[in-house]
Amino acid sequence: MKSILFVCVGNACRSQMSEGFARAMGPKDLVVYSAGSHPAGFVAREAIVAMQGKGIDISEHYSKGLSEIPAISFDYLITMGCGDACPLIPAKHRLDWKIPDPIGRGREYFNQVRDDLERRIRELIESPTF
């Protein structure tokens, strides 16, 4: 059983969409979490709409902080370019995807970020090392 934690600053967009994709595309026993170093307190409506465009419902997701995530060593810790705002979390593999925050940049940009996340997660899950 593999585990992934997606982290961004607000846990309102990028990490939420990533969690949705990983749950939808990964094996049934994949353990997936997302969190923010400074949770926004909401999931962006644009992220929910963008994911609906891919047939994935994240409307029941909520913005959460790192203190709400189990204190385990994850197989993968994937940050979204949050730099120093993302604290050290135990993980076997660490990836920083440096994906810009789409908040305030319009629906088309949200869809671009969504599609980039989908590609990256598909590549990760289908990689021989996963």
Domains of the chain and any CATH numbers: 3-126 (3.40.50.2300)
- Answer yes or no: 82 catalytic: yes
- Answer yes or no: 13 catalytic: no
Mean pLDDT of 73-89: 80
Q: Which residues contact 51 (CB under 8 A, 6 or more apart)?
A: 17, 20, 57, 58, 114
Cα(22)–Cα(124) distance, integer angstroms: 10
Cα(47)–Cα(127) distance, integer angstroms: 26
Name the nearest CA neighbour of 102 among 6, 10, 13, 11. 13
List 5, 8, 9, 58, catalytic entry? 8
Mean pLDDT of 59-88: 86
CA dihedral over 43, 48, 50, 55, signed as positive or negative: positive
Tens of pLDDT, residue by residue over 31-54, are: 999 999 889 999 999 999 999 999
Q: Which residues contact 95 (CB under 8 A, 6 or more apart)?
A: 76, 77, 78, 79, 124
List 7, 13, 17, 82, catalytic entry? 82
* pLDDT number for residue 84: 56
List 9, 12, 44, 86, catalytic entry? 86
